[in-house]
């Protein structure tokens, strides 16, 4: 079994640590900064052996160099990220794309190309463990802004992710659930499941609690971008959310 730890950093980012007790390996996903991630690992007696980046934005790769420097004390840290964005992530040791594999101990993650938020964005899917790390592609009740891609690409991403088993746990990189949910209700005001979820999120956030990870099943029921019937509807909803 893998242990996953959520580390809140900056204003609304989450860095994820994955630890495999059998091998002793630990992976950091999208470390925005180094020190809180190193501290969280050290508090558990772990050392960070790998970093997996989903895309090039600074709030996902900003901690790479600091973690790699610290890792010299325990034998190093291998940094993996999207080949299509290698020119923007100077700390990469390995580049990957669609269909490639990365490993933590005996556990295998398949790389999925999910361009739209950025041109080379990838996700890491551990099918055997029913986990996927999606960066800024899919959020609870939302999706990433289309900074470098198209509505058609994001629509394709949503369809691919929706096709995963419903009990797949989705680890996204930001705490956006409240704003996403409130906007989603303006689009689907009669969606009772969505309304119940937003109420739960409001209560959780009032208590200062995190609202992710989520699941594919939850997103099928409540994510207006995953539920868009076609590219045009997704584009309309994304533009409206951007302007909200």
The answer to whether residues 80 and 146 belong to one domain is no
Query: Of 19, 20, 49, 57, which one is the catalytic site residue?
Result: 57
Asked about 242 being catalytic, the answer comes back as no
This prediction's pTM: 0.97
Whole-angstrom Cα distance, residue 44 to residue 232? 47
Query: Of 117, 121, 125, 221, which one is the catalytic site residue?
Result: 117
* Tens digits of pLDDT across the chain (244 residues): 899 999 999 999 999 999 999 999 999 999 999 999 999 999 999 999 999 999 999 999 999 999 999 999 999 999 999 999 999 999 999 999 999 999 999 999 999 999 999 999 999 999 999 999 999 999 999 999 999 999 999 999 999 999 999 999 999 999 999 999 999 999 999 999 999 999 999 999 999 999 999 999 999 999 999 999 999 999 999 999 999 8
Q: Is 47 helix (H, G, I), strand (E, B) or coil?
A: coil
Asked about 174 being catalytic, the answer comes back as yes
Asked about 230 being catalytic, the answer comes back as no
The answer to whether residues 91 and 142 belong to one domain is no
Asked about 107 being catalytic, the answer comes back as no
Asked about 19 being catalytic, the answer comes back as no
Judge whether 187 lies within some domain: yes
Residues 6+ apart with CB under 8 A from 50: 25, 26, 27, 28, 77, 78, 79, 80, 102, 104
Query: Of 20, 49, 60, 121, which one is the catalytic site residue?
Result: 60
Q: Supply the DSSP symbol for 174.
A: B
User: What CATH number has the domain bearing residue 68?
Assistant: 3.60.15.10
Judge whether 123 lies within some domain: no
The answer to whether residues 53 and 141 belong to one domain is no
């Amino acid at each position: 079994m893998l242990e996953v730890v959520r580390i809140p950093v900056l204003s609304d980012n989450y860095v994820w640590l994955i630890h495999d007790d059998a091998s002793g390996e630990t992976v950091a996903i999208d470390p925005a900064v180094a020190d809180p991630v190193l501290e969280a690992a050290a508090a558990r007696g772990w050392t960070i052996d790998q970093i997996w980046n989903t895309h090039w934005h600074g709030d996902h790769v900003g901690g790479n160099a600091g973690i790699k420097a610290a890792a010299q004390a325990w034998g190093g840290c291998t940094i993996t990220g999207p080949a299509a964005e290698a020119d923007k992530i100077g700390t990469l040791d390995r580049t990957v794309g669609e269909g490639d594999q990365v490993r933590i101990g005996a556990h295998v993650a398949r790389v999925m190309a999910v361009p739209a938020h950025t041109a080379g964005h990838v996700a890491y899917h551990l099918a055997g463990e029913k986990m996927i790390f999606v960066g800024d592609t899919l959020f609870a009740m939302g999706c990433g802004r289309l900074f470098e891609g198209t509505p058609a690409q994001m629509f394709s991403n949503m369809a691919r992710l929706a096709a995963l088993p419903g009990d797949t746990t989705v680890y996204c990189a930001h705490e956006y659930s409240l704003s996403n949910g409130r906007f989603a209700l303006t689009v689907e005001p009669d969606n009772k499941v969505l309304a119940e979820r937003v109420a739960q999120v409001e209560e959780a956030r009032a208590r200062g609690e995190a609202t992710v990870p989520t699941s594919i099943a939850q997103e099928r029921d409540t994510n207006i971008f995953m539920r868009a019937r076609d590219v045009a509807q997704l584009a309309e909803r994304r533009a409206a959310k951007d302007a909200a």
